[in-house]
A and B are shown apart, each in its own frame.
Chain A
Amino acid sequence: MHVAEGILPAEWAVAWAVPAAGAVAIGLDRLKKRTADDPSFKSLVALMGAAVFAISLMPIPVPVAGSVSHPAGTPLAAIVVGPWASVVLAGLALLVQALFFAHGGLTTLGANILSEGMVGSFVGFGCFWLARRRGASLFRAGFLAGVFGDVAVYLATATELGLGLFPWNGSLRGAGALFLAFLPTQLPLAILEGVFTGGVLRSLAQLRPDIARGLRLGPADAVSATPRGGRIHHHWKRGSRGVRVAIVVLAVLVAVVLLGGLLWAIAATTGSWVGIDAGIMERVAEERGRAARTPFINTDVGDLLLFVFFGGAVVAGAAAGWIVQGMRRARSTTSRVPLLGSHAVGGAAGGPGGAAAGAVGGPKGAAAGAVGGATGDAAGGSLRGRTIGARRWVWGLVVAVLLALFLWGWLAPGLALGPLEGAHLRTVARVMADPSGQQVLSARGGDAVLFAFTIAGLLLGTTAGWSASRRFGGSRPRLRLPHLHGSHDIRGSDRHAWRTTVLSAVDARVKLAVGAVLLGVNLVAGRGFSLLLLAACLVALLAVVRIHWIALSLRMLPALVVGAMLVLLQGLTTPGRALISIALPRLAPVTVSGEGLLAGSDLAAVVLAGVSLLLLLGLSTPLPALLGALRWYRVPGLLIDLGMLMYRYLFLFVEEAQRMRQAQRLRGPDVPWRRAMGGFNSLGANLLIRSYDRSQRVYDAQRLRGGERRQ
């Protein structure tokens, strides 16, 4: 859930950077004090951070998306090394991600540290701490931490985007809409994060209770060893009845808080929404002396709307059919293991999907969905989704998620508008209950007819896509690009960074300073500068860094999706001359303004230019050189030392995780999701254990070469 480079205006970038810097400074101070007491703590934090980062790069299956995603890892890191250290680690991880993957950014680093680092760490840690104090098992406490940590991150990100993208008086409503748009796709991911966090902690305590005690995962007397069947099984003491009641109360409280947030979001989006609702838009436009005129495309005329919905459904269905058939084929023709760099971000399925569903549903849903897609990890690697095709349930779940998104698109406007004037579901239900009702006979295509046309289009499209894929898709999966560097391929990025080029000869301090200035100017200079910067960076990436154009496209894909969504969002929410107007039954028409499209394209140019500049910086300069440059710029040495250690061991842990994953797959290539998830949790726990043990040896190695003199 990164806010992409260039999305936030300069003033908000600064506004978020200041408290973020403060949070990191506090985290470093705490870390320094803890290291003074226990000098080995620094290497422990760095190696555990690297392990969590490595785990977060591993793809895990997402049942509802039919794809794979990545755990954020922030709640786990907060539990393992403490929330303040986790803020520091999150800051480093976000910096590395910005430079290696162009995920997030430098001007949005502050916002991302606050939402992911601060909010994710403290909410996750708080939930875990509370639950453990009340006697919850490690799994349950970890689950709560993962779920609520993630949801809190979405809430914080939505707030940051709402404040940055919407006018001041509409920012809270905007944030609410964004949060609503995040929920349908990100909630399953949050649950996944919960299962992952709880599962890793449980496995860790089972495998090495001494480490669980060392990491203060619970009261020291909570671990007991009971011989059973010749083996030692460790289990955490179960809570008493009172403890269980307390857990229920806690869950209810959290649910109330969440529900309150949801209601707040809904309340924020009800009523008048300046610039979106056509009536209000027209009124505002008229007040400003620019009355709307007849749009170029008006779906209010004739049955055009029916065909728009029908056509859209056919296209969506065809794509789904083609992809699912391809996944089935991949299952039968390859047993490739989905490894690092071969993944799909769950947000990809969710983001654009949510946007599409929102667009079908209505203007507010469209706006919310658009940014939902734009700010999620977006389509980073959705092309690789086929690798997880060996799952029997993919079929049902893909259809389910499509339906869920579709229904959400219908439901969201109703929720957003408050009075269920335009709630299609309700109308459909009423019409279905009374088939002779007037709606069915509506000449314009009443809700039921529209619904039927859309479903028919979906079925038709799916069948066509399925058949076409079988006929023309070939015997091998179409989307087979494992040798290219995906958007999360950290080793590919690193290899590029170490190559000798004209740019690599330039001092990293100079590159960092020039890059920072250019990113700042990019935020304020306007479209011309951004386009020029974008062109220059792309040329440099292709001609000097010599990155393959497909690899570059993959890396730019998230930014392209963000840019497209920003254009759509601005087109829908900015008042001005209507270019396209789509009339929706019982809803105000969706109007796309020319001014909005222009404003959106300006913003998209800023994002694309910023991301390409980050890519250029990251792919032409090794991370140690950049960290060395930061040290020269007086960034605290402890932060740099942690970054260096993380960089050193990240690759080792990635390799170890990959080997363990391969070993697991070789001994069970096609296991059900639950077992696969269990294997993933065990892998995560093993990696944490190895890094815990290694951290002591690394500390010993440092001491033996005079490291204590450096502390």
Chain B
Amino acid sequence: MMNSPWGSSRIDGSAVTIARAGFVYPGGVRALDGVDITVRSGDFTAVMGANGGGKSTMLKLLVGLLHPTEGSIAIDDVDVNRETFNQVAATVGYLFQDPNDQLFCPTVAADIAYGPENLGLGDAEVRGRVEWSAKTCGVYELLERPIHALSYGQKKRVALAGVLAMGPRALVLDEPSASLDPMAETALMRLLKGLNERGLTVIMATHDVDLIPLYAHRVILLRGGQVAAEGPLTEVFAEGTALEACDLRLPRIAYLFDIFCDDSTRPLTVGQARKELVRMVEQGRLDLVPILLPKERGGAA
């Protein structure tokens, strides 16, 4: 019997509030400074920024692995601090960047079951959650395998299965697509998107500007530990300057459109680009022939 950890098809996602949060590492390095952000229930939010911009620190503050030296953080109105760590951990799932940090049990089944067992669930419930999580993440056939025998992509999926088996209402992911091959990356992101569509709040840190427009609703840009921009994806990506200020860039498809046309149209995904191209050709605003076939046209002339 497979049990979804949430009991129903709809997930009641958590809301996250970060109020003027700052963090200084013991060595004196300030990683975050006056961060003020609200993530609504069911949002898919991307936290973006250059290396050292404060992304990982912010995610660790969200799950209580670090505690803000200034300001506060709340998950569904529960203040994140040392006393509420276990309560928050049961609500928010955290996926480490390196799955080898997260998978500490010798076998896949033991690792996925680790969290549900600690929640004090019965054997049948634990087994059901393990099966559900493993099937959802596509690792069911690996259940009896030792962790060290898995590929990197498989480890990532198993790590996510271990987090999902806890039945979180928000997922915090630190560069989940890093080091994955394109197919594994697509599979992982589709899975996250599917869960998000059921109501799960997703917050993920990433550098991948080509990937994010496909999945995220909102974007938070961090620069030097401060929020450089925050808002709906289309707004933040509308101008390349904010991204460039954070050592990022626009998606490649947007650059391609800069070559095609002079107006401000700037699609962020291949799908949007296709629609836009069709529209422009139909309106007679764009003649693709001189762009795609310059020699033939010149020869005919």
Question: In the complex, A703→B148 CA distance in Å?
Answer: 22
Chain A residues in 8 Å Cβ range of B104: 43, 645, 648-649, 698, 701-702
Which chain B residues numbered 129 to 167 have a C-beta less than 8 Å away from chain A?
Answer: 145-149, 162-163, 166
Chain B residues in 8 Å Cβ range of A701: 96, 101-102, 104
Binding stretch for chain A, among B105-113, B182-190, B196-204, B255-263: B105-113
- Per-position 1/0 for B224-239, Cβ under 8 A of A: 0000000000000000
B65 at the A interface (CB under 8 A): yes
- Are A706 and B115 interface neighbours, CB within 8 A? yes
* Residue ID in chain B nearest A647 by CB atoms: B106
Binding stretch for chain A, among B38-46, B68-76, B86-94, B293-301: B86-94
B100 at the A interface (CB under 8 A): yes
Chain B residues in 8 Å Cβ range of A710: 118
Chain A residues in 8 Å Cβ range of B105: 644, 648
Partner of B110, one of A624, A649, A700, A702: A624
- Are B118 and A694 interface neighbours, CB within 8 A? no
- Are B89 and A706 interface neighbours, CB within 8 A? yes
Partner of A624, one of B101, B106, B114: B106
CB distance from A225 to the nearest CB of B (A): 13
Chain B residues in 8 Å Cβ range of A694: 100-101
- Are A644 and B106 interface neighbours, CB within 8 A? yes
- Are A622 and B146 interface neighbours, CB within 8 A? yes
Question: In the complex, A612→B85 CA distance in Å?
Answer: 50
Chain B residues in 8 Å Cβ range of A703: 65, 85, 89
B18 at the A interface (CB under 8 A): no
B119 at the A interface (CB under 8 A): yes
Question: In the complex, A23→B43 CA distance in Å?
Answer: 55
Question: In the complex, A694→B106 CA distance in Å?
Answer: 16
Partner of A706, one of B65, B90, B106, B149: B90
B170 at the A interface (CB under 8 A): no
* Residue ID in chain B nearest A700 by CB atoms: B65
- Are A498 and B89 interface neighbours, CB within 8 A? no
- Per-position 1/0 for A634-656, Cβ under 8 A of B: 00000000001101110110000
A517 at the B interface (CB under 8 A): no
Question: In the complex, A706→B118 CA distance in Å?
Answer: 5
* Residue ID in chain B nearest A699 by CB atoms: B104
Partner of B146, one of A494, A702, A704: A494
B58 at the A interface (CB under 8 A): no
CB distance from A577 to the nearest CB of B (A): 55
Chain B residues in 8 Å Cβ range of A622: 106, 146
* Residue ID in chain B nearest A708 by CB atoms: B86
Chain A residues in 8 Å Cβ range of B103: 648
What is the total of A-B residue contacts with beta carbons within 8 Å? 73
- Are B65 and A652 interface neighbours, CB within 8 A? no
Question: In the complex, A705→B115 CA distance in Å?
Answer: 5
Chain B residues in 8 Å Cβ range of A652: 100, 148
Partner of A709, one of B86, B101, B145: B86
Query: Given A494-B146, A652-B100: A705 and B89 within 8 A (CB)?
Result: yes
B63 at the A interface (CB under 8 A): yes
* Residue ID in chain B nearest A645 by CB atoms: B104
CB distance from B166 to the nearest CB of A (A): 6
- Are B94 and A704 interface neighbours, CB within 8 A? yes
Query: Given A648-B105, A703-B85: A709 and B118 within 8 A (CB)?
Result: yes
Question: In the complex, A43→B148 CA distance in Å?
Answer: 18
Chain A residues in 8 Å Cβ range of B162: 705
Chain A residues in 8 Å Cβ range of B96: 697, 701
A167 at the B interface (CB under 8 A): no
Contact residues of A: prevailing secondary structure:
helix
CB distance from B98 to the nearest CB of A (A): 8
CB distance from B83 to the nearest CB of A (A): 13
A623 at the B interface (CB under 8 A): yes
Question: In the complex, A287→B98 CA distance in Å?
Answer: 75
- Are B146 and A498 interface neighbours, CB within 8 A? yes
Question: In the complex, A700→B148 CA distance in Å?
Answer: 20
A668 at the B interface (CB under 8 A): no
CB distance from A583 to the nearest CB of B (A): 59
Chain B interface size range: 20 to 34
Chain B residues in 8 Å Cβ range of A697: 96, 98, 101
Question: In the complex, A36→B93 CA distance in Å?
Answer: 26
A435 at the B interface (CB under 8 A): no
Chain A interface size range: 20 to 34
A396 at the B interface (CB under 8 A): no
CB distance from A601 to the nearest CB of B (A): 40
Chain B residues in 8 Å Cβ range of A279: none
A707 at the B interface (CB under 8 A): yes
Chain B residues in 8 Å Cβ range of A43: 104
* Residue ID in chain A nearest B149 by CB atoms: A498
CB distance from A106 to the nearest CB of B (A): 21
Chain A residues in 8 Å Cβ range of B86: 706, 708-709
CB distance from B167 to the nearest CB of A (A): 11
- Per-position 1/0 for A560-591, Cβ under 8 A of B: 00000000000000000000000000000000
Question: In the complex, A347→B166 CA distance in Å?
Answer: 51
Question: In the complex, A623→B149 CA distance in Å?
Answer: 14
Which chain A residues numbered 596 to 649 have a C-beta less than 8 Å away from chain B?
Answer: 622-624, 644-645, 647-649
- Per-position 1/0 for A667-689, Cβ under 8 A of B: 00000000000000000000000
Question: In the complex, A709→B121 CA distance in Å?
Answer: 13
Question: In the complex, A281→B145 CA distance in Å?
Answer: 60
Chain A residues in 8 Å Cβ range of B101: 694, 697-698, 700-701
Chain A residues in 8 Å Cβ range of B93: 704
Question: In the complex, A43→B118 CA distance in Å?
Answer: 17
Chain A residues in 8 Å Cβ range of B118: 705-707, 709-710
Chain A residues in 8 Å Cβ range of B166: 705-706
* Residue ID in chain B nearest A651 by CB atoms: B148
Chain A residues in 8 Å Cβ range of B145: 498
Question: In the complex, A697→B107 CA distance in Å?
Answer: 19
Which of B110, B120, B146 has the most A CB atoms < 10 Å from its CB?
B146
Question: In the complex, A700→B100 CA distance in Å?
Answer: 13
Chain A residues in 8 Å Cβ range of B63: 704
Question: In the complex, A623→B115 CA distance in Å?
Answer: 22
Chain B residues in 8 Å Cβ range of A494: 146, 148
Chain A residues in 8 Å Cβ range of B90: 706
CB distance from B143 to the nearest CB of A (A): 13
* Residue ID in chain A nearest B98 by CB atoms: A697
* Residue ID in chain A nearest B112 by CB atoms: A705
Question: In the complex, A86→B65 CA distance in Å?
Answer: 29
Chain B residues in 8 Å Cβ range of A644: 105-106
Which chain B residues numbered 278 to 300 have a C-beta less than 8 Å away from chain A?
Answer: none
CB distance from B91 to the nearest CB of A (A): 11
Which of A645, A651, A700 has the most B CB atoms < 10 Å from its CB?
A700
Question: In the complex, A644→B118 CA distance in Å?
Answer: 17
Partner of B114, one of A623, A700, A705: A705
Chain B residues in 8 Å Cβ range of A623: 106
Chain B residues in 8 Å Cβ range of A649: 104
* Residue ID in chain B nearest A694 by CB atoms: B101
Chain B residues in 8 Å Cβ range of A698: 101, 104
CB distance from B77 to the nearest CB of A (A): 21
CB distance from B115 to the nearest CB of A (A): 4
Chain A residues in 8 Å Cβ range of B98: 697
Question: In the complex, A698→B162 CA distance in Å?
Answer: 14
Chain B residues in 8 Å Cβ range of A498: 145-146, 149
Ordered by A's residue number, 22 sampled pairs between the chains whose C-beta atoms are within 8 Å are: A498-B145, A498-B149, A622-B106, A622-B146, A624-B146, A644-B106, A648-B104, A648-B147, A652-B100, A652-B148, A694-B101, A700-B65, A702-B114, A703-B89, A704-B65, A704-B89, A704-B94, A705-B118, A706-B89, A706-B115, A709-B118, A709-B120
Interface residues of B (CB under 8 A from A): 63, 65, 85-86, 89-90, 93-94, 96, 98, 100-107, 110, 114-115, 118-120, 145-149, 162-163, 166
List the 5 closest pairs (A to B, CB-CB), nearest first: A706-B118, A705-B115, A651-B148, A624-B106, A697-B101
Extra inter-chain contacts (7) besides given A43-B104, A623-B106, A702-B114, CB under 8 Å: A644-B106, A648-B148, A652-B148, A698-B101, A698-B104, A705-B163, A706-B86
